[in-house]
Structure formats: structure tokens, C-alpha cells
Amino acid sequence: METLENIVYDDLHVGDTASFTRSLTEDELVLFAAVSGDVNPVHLDADFAADSMFKERIAHGMWSGSLISAALATVMPGPGTIYLEQSLSFKRPVKLDDTLTVKLSVVSKERKNRVTIACDVVNQHDQTVVSGEAKVIAPTERLSLPRPRLPRITIESFDSEQHED
Amino acid sequence: METLENIVYDDLHVGDTASFTRSLTEDELVLFAAVSGDVNPVHLDADFAADSMFKERIAHGMWSGSLISAALATVMPGPGTIYLEQSLSFKRPVKLDDTLTVKLSVVSKERKNRVTIACDVVNQHDQTVVSGEAKVIAPTERLSLPRPRLPRITIESFDSEQHED
């Protein structure tokens, strides 16, 4: 059974790294639009996006941000982490079938279990798409949890009939 | 038909405000976990969350961040906006049935159509849950677009059988 494990404050060291990888499919475009309410057609409408400066549909910038938060919450430090702050600088668009890797690196440890972590999100060409810095309270209690299973999510077929004319 | 309209750089003024409101249901917890990969049980498992410091399931912090990005992309400045930077400070947990309002306020206008926007997310008790600042390139071309419709998304019933024992 897959587990989620954390790294407690005392076991984190400056320079420690971790990573987390996900790919962008049409599902992410639809689900992120649904969960955030950001239905901008540059993410959803292939025809509209073809005429945009990006020439094709792109990911919501904050989707890359959500991958950073997932990396912090599930990999390093992992479960029990309290999220305090995040900065994000959006560098480059993310396109369908791009594979993003969140690279985390411990920058400093402070009082009261605070940790500052550099966050870089790179695509499959090793180009940075988002960079930023997180401040968290690292957990102090070791946890090893069964990884929750998600209910099945079904998205109706994504046709080109995106808007009424 | 509902439309998405934008506010171009020349029509934005320091002090202009806009807002965007959404409520947290179990759907957002599941969809955000699916789209980000953050399956931390504090967001998904009612029993686990009951024993946590929060006493119940809470929203992913970055879900509030995604509402800010939705407000920028669909309300002010709206379609055509290029997202450059976002800072986020997570102040308070968000619980099921909380209604969040993103409040945007133009802080300054700079060269090359850059705009800095203060972003506060408050709950139904007017308590700030997230605050931060966005830097964007505002659109220069007026747009009025049909609001894209999303395909239907179905989530299997969310039972308490969240992990294998």
C-alpha cells in the first residue's frame, strides 16, 4: 500500500532537495477551470487559443503553483506541514503534454520550526516555467499515512462546441 | 448569453476594486486534490482531519490562490491579462461551506502596461484567509467574449472508505 511520509524539522537540512512530477492533459485544463472558476478561453477553447499570443491552449499559471503546494504537502516536508507564504514568478507558458517537475530545495531553517524552501518548476526541456519561495512550519511529529484514494472523476467528452454563437 | 469582458490598461485606475466569490464544497476538495496531486488527508479524510489541529477538513491553501488567479483572469483586468507574479500569505484555514470573496484593488500602474494589484481573500465573517499582491500585464485590446461552458464533471460519491486498512 502506498504511503505518505513526512520529513520532520530536525531531519531537514539546508540544501536538501525533493521533486514532484505531473503532466498537463486536457483534464487538468478542465478541472482547474472548474475548481477555480477561471474559465478564460485561452485555457479551454482551442480555436480561441490558436489566435492568441500563445498559439494554443496553455495551463492556468496557478496550476503550476498548485503543483508546488502538492510537493510541499506530500513530499517535503510532507504531511503535517503548515503553509505560511508562497511567492510565484510566472516565466513561461505551459502547453498540453508538457511534463513539469517541481524542484524543492531547503534554503534556511529558522526558529519555531520555520523552513524556507526554494521552488522551481521546470518543463521537459529543463526550462523554468515558475520560480518562487515557500515559507512553512515543518512538522515535528513523524507521520506515515496510507495515501488517500480519490473518488473517480469523469469529465464529459471535451468537444469543440465551447460557446454559443 | 453570459460574457467575459476585460478592463484595458488605460481604463484601470489606482484604487479601482473588483471581487469574485466562491464557496467551498466537498467537490472543491476532491477536484483540487485531483488536479494538483495534493492528496494530503487533512483535505480528504474526515476522520483524519478530526484528529488534526484543524478539527475538520480544510481547503488546500492554494485553492484560495486559484480564486485570486480566477478573479484576475475573468474580472479585473480580465481576458488578455498576462500573469507575472503573485505573493500569497496564508492567514487562516478555510472550512467546508465557507464562502470566500477575493477582493482586488489596483495599487499602482507602471510602464509597459504593468499593474500591481492587492489581493485579499476574506471569508463570510470578513476574516482574511489569504492576502498577497499580483503583478500583471494588463490587456490593451478590449475584449468581450462568450463565457466558455465547461463539460459536465461527475465525482463518484465521496464515502468514508478513504484508505485501505
pLDDT tens, residue by residue, A118-134: 999 999 999 999 999 99
Asked if the Cβ–Cβ distance from A148 to B162 is below 8 Å, we say yes
Task: Pinpoint the alpha helices (H) of B12-150.
Answer: 26-36, 41-44, 46-50, 61-74
Using the Cβ of B87 and the Cβ atoms of chain A, whether some distance falls under 8 Å is answered with yes
Q: Which domain holds residue B77?
A: 3-24+59-142
Give B 8-47 residues with CB within 8 A of chain A: 20, 22, 27-28, 30-42, 44-45
Per-residue b or e along B74-87, where b marks 16 or more CB atoms closer than 10 Å to that residue's CB: bbbbbbbbbbbbbb
Residue type, B54: F
Contact at 8 Å (CB) between A143 and B51? no
The answer to the question of residue A149 being in a domain is no
Contact at 8 Å (CB) between A74 and B39? yes
The answer to the question of residue A121 being in a domain is yes
Q: How far is A89 from chain B (nearest CA, A)?
A: 4
- Residue A47: all three cell numbers together: 480555436
pLDDT tens digit sequence for A147-164: 998 999 999 875 544 444
A40 contacts on B by Cβ (under 8 Å): 4, 73-74, 79, 148
Which residues are bridge partners to A23 per DSSP? A99
The answer to the question of residue B135 being in a domain is yes
pLDDT tens digit sequence for B24-80: 999 999 999 999 999 999 999 999 999 988 999 999 999 999 999 999 999 999 999
Instruction: Write down the pTM of the prediction.
Output: 0.94
Chain centroid, CA A36 distance in Å: 14
The answer to the question of residue B159 being in a domain is no
Q: Looking at chain A, which residue has its C-alpha nearest residue B38?
A: A70
The answer to the question of residue A156 being in a domain is no
The answer to the question of residue A116 being in a domain is yes
The answer to the question of residue B158 being in a domain is no
Q: What is chain A's percent helix, strand, coil content, to nearest 5?
A: 20, 35, 45
What's residue A165's pLDDT? 40
Least confident of A51-60, B5-14, B114-123: A51-60
Q: Tell me whether strands A153-155 and B114-122 are parallel, antiparallel or unpaired.
A: unpaired
Which distant-in-sequence residues (6+ apart) come within 8 Å of B69 by Cβ?
A: A36, A38, A60, A61, A62, A65, B83, B86
CATH number at residue A108: 3.10.129.10
- Residue B82: all three cell numbers together: 498576462
Which residues are bridge partners to B31 per DSSP? none
What's residue B159's pLDDT? 55
Contact at 8 Å (CB) between B30 and B45? no
- Complex prediction ipTM: 0.93
What's residue A158's pLDDT? 55
What's residue A50's pLDDT? 94
For residues A54, A55, A58, A60, the Cα torsion angle rounded to the nearest 10 degrees is 50
The answer to the question of residue A9 being in a domain is yes
B68 contacts on A by Cβ (under 8 Å): 62
Size of interface A-B (CB pairs under 8 A): 202
The number of distinct structural domains making up chain A is 1
